[in-house]
Structure 1
Amino acid sequence: MNRNVIVTCALTGAGDSVSRSELVPVTPEEIAEAGISAARAGAAIVHVHVRDPETGKGSRDVKLYREVVERIRASDVDVIINTTGGMGGDLYLDPQNPTETVDGTDMVNAIERLAHVEELLPDICTLDTGSLNFGDGSYVYISTPDMLREGAKRIQELGVRPEMEIFEPGHLVFAKKLVEEGLIDEPAMFQLCMGVPYGSPADALTLLAMVNQLPEGAVWASFALGAMQIPWVAQSILLGGHVRVGLEDNLYLRRGVKATNAQLVEQARVVIEGMGAKMATPDEAREILRLKARS
């Protein structure tokens, strides 16, 4: 069992959650304030997406990332910043003519997906290690081996720690290949993403099978969507991992009661401390992940 637990709070995501909860942060100021509040509640890491302030939809706008990151860095809290590196892989196909794309498609190359990472140099950024059918319909997230190698190399050159996001076992196979090829520095950092349609289901045996395939010395966390988010805190800790909570993955404290990010971190604290473990401080998380100390 892991007794020193890094808690990541995923603040807003890019999915269509704004219409389902008024507590999902949208503007850069709201997202930054959510991150600061989550850090005060005990999160060692905040995972940052940004949204178009007018539409609430996910965005790749570097100016929005800059405002969020600068606000968090200028605050009185110490927290590790983890920005997404996955925007720009959205492919929506016409099911009757799959050679044609339709509205919603946003496809750019591996380097363009990292424009905000290159400018802002967060402590961590995510690397989605494979393509996936995200739910029903004709939406596919695209992240090819060539794109991933190019992206991993650039992240390594920038000195940013990649958190490899694993949505199904095949992604883990390729992520380990990136490690073997020297494109991921030690300690390799894995996020096992459970319950995302149509990826790995949120069940204990699937998680155990994936954990058993992680390379020696890896640092890993996992999360599950919706009502499984808080139970998954315990599940991850029991197998030796770290945890992620937040409004990107779950909107509720309990049935019918909408959550804030800070409240979800507090719920995670109750589980962690009830298991006899403790929440890692940002400095302890930096030591585990071999990150540079905050300047």
Structure 2
Amino acid sequence: MNNEVIITAALTGAGDTVGKSEHVPVTPEQIATSAVDAANAGAAVVHIHVRNVDDGKGSRDVALYREVVRQVRESGVDVVINLTAGMGGDLVIDQDDPLKPVDGTDLVNGLERLPHVEELLPDICTMDCGSLNFGEGSQLYISTPDMLRAGAKRIQELGVKPEMEIFDTGQLWFATKLIEEGLIDAPPLFQLCMGIPYGAPVDPGVLQSMVNMLPEGANWASFAIGRNQMPWVAQSAILGGHVRVGLEDNLYLSRGVKATNAQLVERAVTIVEALGAKVATPDQAREKLGLKRRS
């Protein structure tokens, strides 16, 4: 059991959710406001994607990240900033010609996924630790060992903490190799991602096996998508981990009731405290995760 739990709020993601809920933030102002609201509700960390303002689709535009981070930092609210570095890994192939990428492809190398991290120097950035079939159809997420080694080295040079996103056990195996090779500074940080087709299923036994594979001294959190989000808050804390909630992974507070990020964080706080644990403050999160406090 984890007695001091860090709550991360994943605010918007890059999925096709904008038309499914009016609460999904799109503009930099909306994302920043949602970050501040989530922090005030109890989130120590906010995980940030950005979206194109005109169509709501996920974006790698550094200017959008710059504006969100500026507004969060100038808000006066203390919160740990975690920027995604996973955009740029999408490959959609033609079934008849697998070497031909089609609409929806946004594939760049590992270093080209980091310009916003290089400029803004967040506390944390994510690093998706492997490739996988992303749902049905012909979409793949591509993150090769060479891409990951190059990205990990650059993130290390920047002094940013990588949050290693783990979608299956093979990715966890590779992440431990990055640690052994000296590309990840101690203490390492893992996010165990459950229920994303077709990675690790939402199964407590699978989570336990992944926790058993973690290197000694690692910090870790876990989340599950959709209606499993809140049960997974309890599951993660009971197994000794931290938790993640937010509209990136789930749009509902209860059946038929659409949520805001702040409401999802409030629900997570209730669950954590009902288990007899405390919710970590941003400074406690920094200490646990080995983060530098940036000015």
1:172 aligns with 2:172: yes
Q: Hey, what's the Cα distance between the residues in 2 that align with 1:103 and 1:62?
A: 22
Structure 2: any 5+ residue segments left out of the alignment? none
Give, in angstroms, the shift of residue 96 of structure 1: 1.3
Specify the SS of the correspondent of 1:243. Answer: strand
1:243 corresponding residue in structure 2: 243
Q: Hey, what's the Cα distance between the residues in 2 that align with 1:284 and 1:294?
A: 15
Deviations 1:262-282 (A, max 9, x none): 000000011000000011000
Q: Hey, what's the Cα distance between the residues in 1 that align with 2:246 and 2:96?
A: 37
Q: How high is the sequence identity, in percent, across the aligned residues? A: 71
2:100 corresponding residue in structure 1: 100
1:163 corresponding residue in structure 2: 163
Q: Hey, what's the Cα distance between the residues in 1 that align with 2:219 and 2:22?
A: 34
Give, in angstroms, the shift of residue 45 of structure 1: 0.2
Q: Hey, what's the Cα distance between the residues in 1 that align with 2:168 and 2:34?
A: 29
Count residues with an aligned counterpart. Answer: 295
1:3 corresponding residue in structure 2: 3
1:206 corresponding residue in structure 2: 206
Moved over 2 A (4+): none
1:29 corresponding residue in structure 2: 29
Check whether the contact 2:221–2:242 (CA below 8 A) recurs between aligned residues. yes
Structure 1: any 5+ residue segments left out of the alignment? none
Range with greater deviation from structure 2 (121-130 or 103-112): 103-112
Q: Which amino acid aligns with 1:291?
A: L
Specify the SS of the correspondent of 1:221. Answer: strand
> RMSD of aligned C-alpha atoms?
0.5
Deviations 1:31-86 (A, max 9, x none): 00000000000100000000000000000000000000000000021000000011
1:113 aligns with 2:113: yes
Q: Hey, what's the Cα distance between the residues in 2 that align with 1:56 and 1:96?
A: 30
1:56 aligns with 2:61: no
1:152 corresponding residue in structure 2: 152
2:79 corresponding residue in structure 1: 79
1:90 aligns with 2:93: no
Specify the SS of the correspondent of 2:103. Answer: coil
Deviations 1:246-291 (A, max 9, x none): 0000000001000000000000011000000011000000000111
Q: Which amino acid aligns with 1:140?
A: L
1:14 corresponding residue in structure 2: 14
Q: Which amino acid aligns with 2:47?
A: H
Give, in angstroms, the shift of residue 292 of structure 1: 1.4
Give, in angstroms, the shift of residue 293 of structure 1: 2.3
Give, in angstroms, the shift of residue 97 of structure 1: 1.1
Q: Hey, what's the Cα distance between the residues in 2 that align with 1:82 and 1:74?
A: 16
Specify the SS of the correspondent of 1:101. Answer: coil
Q: Which amino acid aligns with 1:279?
A: V
TM-score, structure 2 length as denominator? 0.99
Q: Trace 1:200-279 onto structure 2 (pairs within 5 A).
A: 200-279=200-279
Deviations 1:144-203 (A, max 9, x none): 000000000000000000000000000000000000000000000000000000000011
Give, in angstroms, the shift of residue 294 of structure 1: 4.4
Q: Hey, what's the Cα distance between the residues in 1 that align with 2:232 and 2:93?
A: 34
Specify the SS of the correspondent of 2:270. Answer: helix
